Every structure is written in structure tokens, then in C-alpha cells.
Amino acid sequence: MRIYIDFDDVLCETARHLSDLARERFGRQVPYEAISGFDLQQAFSLSEAEITALMEYAHNDDFLTGLTPAPGGLEGVRALEARGHELVIVTGRPAVSHPGSCGWLAKHGLAHVELLHVDKYGRADAWPTDVALPPTLDLAAFAAQRFDVAIDDSPIALDLLAPRRDCLVIVYDRPWNRHYALAANMRRAASWTKIVNLIGERCK
């Protein structure tokens, strides 16, 4: 099976690090469990200038390569690979984050896994660069990609995946998606152990 795996808050603990960053740089005391929405500007009560500065820092190579893996995530990925599945990391990160994202994958022994940048959030044009980087797929190109299973945490991305009736969509449980209404093709998982089990059940 071809399996889509989101990067932030599925493979690694991005929101926990952003919570620390907002506290260190702007004095915002918003612990991870209190991040109730996917809009970080609203969640951390940041001004336009502050959210811009936060996101610029959050996409530099050192920050990205230092992100903590999600509990059980690396083991889960290796278990899926061992079963012969084709894995694709599908991220909404801008292409400017590609070197840092690849650095994280290499650091954790996953440099061989395909990495696709998709403009999930309509922000690609906000990150101009004169450096040669891989393309960012628009939503039409993304829709043409086939997946048997998709794992994501973002309500916006989940909305994009809901129409794919032939794709099992696994919602990785996070504070900001706890009230998300699951579509018929969706299942919720609170751990990578559950994710791997759900995929195993689909293979039967």
C-alpha cells in the first residue's frame, strides 16, 4: 500500500517545540495541551509581526533538525516499511524548509523516504526564495496523487482527505483536532501503535 504520513505532529513533536519557542521569545505561557486550535497566531495570542518571526525561526534548519520524534513514530515507520508498504511524507511545510526537513530524516535514518511538499494551507507564495528547491504541489496536483492510507492531524488537511473514499484516513489525536467530526473514511488513533494496527487491519 502507498501510505501518506504527515510530518509535523505526526512524525515529530513540532507543536511542543513551538510552545517552548513562543514562551522563550514572546513570553506566551501556552502549554501543549492548551493548544486548542490549529491557528498558532490565535493559539499563542501573537501579533502579525510575532507570528511571522516565530514561523521564520521555526523553518530554519537548526530548529527543524532538532525536533523530537513523536513517541513510537520511528518504530512505526520502520514496521510499515518492513511489511513492504511504500511510504511518502506529505508535508504542508514550505519548500524553503526542505533542507532542514531532509536533515531531520537523515538524522533519524529516513533519508530514503520520499518527501512531498504540498500547499495544504495556501501559503506557498508567502515563502519566496531564489534557491533551487523541489516543487510544491498545488491542490490539483495533490488530488492526482494516489494513497491507500493517509495519516494527518490538521483539520484543514483532513478536510482535503475526506473525499477520498477509497483511502483510509487516520487522524492522529492531538489537542487541536479532538472535536473534529470524522468522515466515513476516517479512524482516530492516539498512538503510533494504534496507527500500525489500523493499517494492518486494512491489509486483511
Residue 31 is predicted with a pLDDT of 84
Task: Give the dihedral sign, CA 157/161/163/169.
Answer: negative
pTM above threshold 0.85? yes
pLDDT digits (tens, 9 = 90+) for 156-182: 999 999 999 999 999 999 999 999 999
Residue 127 has pLDDT above 70, yes or no: no
> Which CATH class, in words, describes the domain spanning 2-13+69-203?
alpha beta
Residue 126 has pLDDT above 60, yes or no: no
Cβ neighbors of 98 (< 8 A, separation 6 or more) are 115, 117, 133, 134
In the chain, domain spans: 2-13+69-203, 15-65
Strand pairing class (136-137; 114-118): parallel
What is the distance between the alpha carbons of residues 101 and 55, in angstroms, rounded to a whole number? 15
Please indicate whether residue 134 or residue 112 has the higher confidence score (pLDDT). Answer: 112
Residue 38 has pLDDT above 80, yes or no: no
